[in-house]
Amino acid sequence: MDDRFHWLDVERIGEELADTHPDIDPLTVSFPSLRELVQQLEGFAEEPGHPSNERILEAIQQSWIDQLD
pLDDT tens for the chain, 69 residues long, are 468 999 999 999 999 999 999 999 999 999 999 999 999 999 999 888 888 999 999 999 999 999 998
Rounded to whole angstroms, how far apart are CA atoms 30 and 2?
30
Residue 63 has what pLDDT? 97
Residue 1 has what pLDDT? 47
The answer to whether the beta carbons of residues 43 and 4 sit under 8 Å apart is yes
Rounded to whole angstroms, how far apart are CA atoms 34 and 30?
6
**What backbone phi and psi angles, to 5 degrees, belong to 12?**
-60, -45
